[in-house]
């Protein structure tokens, strides 16, 4: 299926690496009862490898599956405060946030303003700033607290 190529760069086992005419590379693959597989089509000249194509596909799929298994999905955990959150409640929620960040999850901390409590925006901002400051060791704030409707939101991500 390799088309429009005069020369290819051969790499791999049992082959002397270098630039070969395309026809010679195909002939070498036929002599070994293997396939000529294009690895990097954008390179000049294109990079090819002489391998068993089915085995090549199997190994490629296996690598992709392994990469997918090793990748971790980042969850966002929410922690809700009121503008007049008490010291004990603050510490309780702080401990939960520390556990979430240590587990590698992001934390979305927000202050919910109910009714006329929207007047205390400054208190909510101070509360979130203090919360981010307390979590400095295990996480970092992605952005400053911002007001969205009746919520003041701040995202925290774990430190590596």
pLDDT at 9: 92
In a domain, 2, yes or no: no
Alpha carbons 92 and 73: distance in angstroms, whole number: 26
Of 40, 70, 100, which residue constitutes the final position of a domain? Answer: 70
Alpha carbons 8 and 23: distance in angstroms, whole number: 9
pLDDT at 41: 87
H/E/C letters for each residue in 89-114? HHHHHHHHHHHHHHCCCEEEEEEECC
In a domain, 138, yes or no: yes
What is the domain range of residue 92? 76-158
Using the 8-state DSSP alphabet, how is residue 44 labeled? S
Give yes or no: residues 58 and 120 share one domain.
no
Alpha carbons 53 and 50: distance in angstroms, whole number: 9
In a domain, 62, yes or no: yes
Give yes or no: residues 96 and 147 share one domain.
yes
The pLDDT tens digits along the chain (160 residues) read: 787 788 999 988 888 899 999 999 999 989 989 999 888 888 888 999 999 889 989 999 999 999 888 877 778 999 999 888 899 999 999 999 999 999 889 999 999 998 888 887 888 899 999 999 999 999 999 988 898 888 999 999 998 7
In a domain, 1, yes or no: no
Q: What is the DSSP string of 105-138?
A: -EEEEEEE--GGGGGGHHHHHHHHHHHHHHTTTT
Give yes or no: residues 47 and 110 share one domain.
no
Per the structure, the count of domains in the chain is 2
Alpha carbons 35 and 50: distance in angstroms, whole number: 6
Sheet holding 18-21, edge to edge: 18-21, 7-11, 47-51, 35-40
Domain of residue 18, CATH code: 3.10.20.80
Alpha carbons 29 and 19: distance in angstroms, whole number: 15
In a domain, 94, yes or no: yes
Q: Looking up tokens 């005069």, which residue turns up?
A: 6
pLDDT at 12: 80
């Amino acid at each position: 299926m390799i088309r429009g190529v005069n020369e290819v760069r051969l790499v791999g086992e049992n082959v002397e690496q270098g630039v070969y005419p395309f026809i010679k590379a195909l002939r070498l693959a036929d002599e070994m009862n293997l396939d000529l597989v294009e690895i990097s089509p954008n390179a000049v000249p294109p990079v090819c490898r002489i391998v068993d194509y089915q085995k090549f596909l199997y190994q490629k799929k296996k690598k992709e599956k392994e990469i997918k298994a090793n990748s971790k999905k980042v969850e966002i955990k929410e922690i809700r405060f009121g503008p007049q959150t008490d010291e004990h409640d603050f510490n309780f929620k702080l401990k939960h946030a520390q556990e979430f960040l240590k587990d590698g999850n992001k934390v979305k901390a927000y202050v919910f303003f109910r009714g006329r409590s929207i007047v205390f925006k400054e208190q909510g901002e101070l509360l979130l700033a203090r919360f981010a400051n307390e979590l400095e060791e295990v996480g970092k704030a992605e952005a400053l607290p911002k007001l969205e409707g009746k919520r003041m939101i701040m995202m925290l991500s774990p430190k590596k």
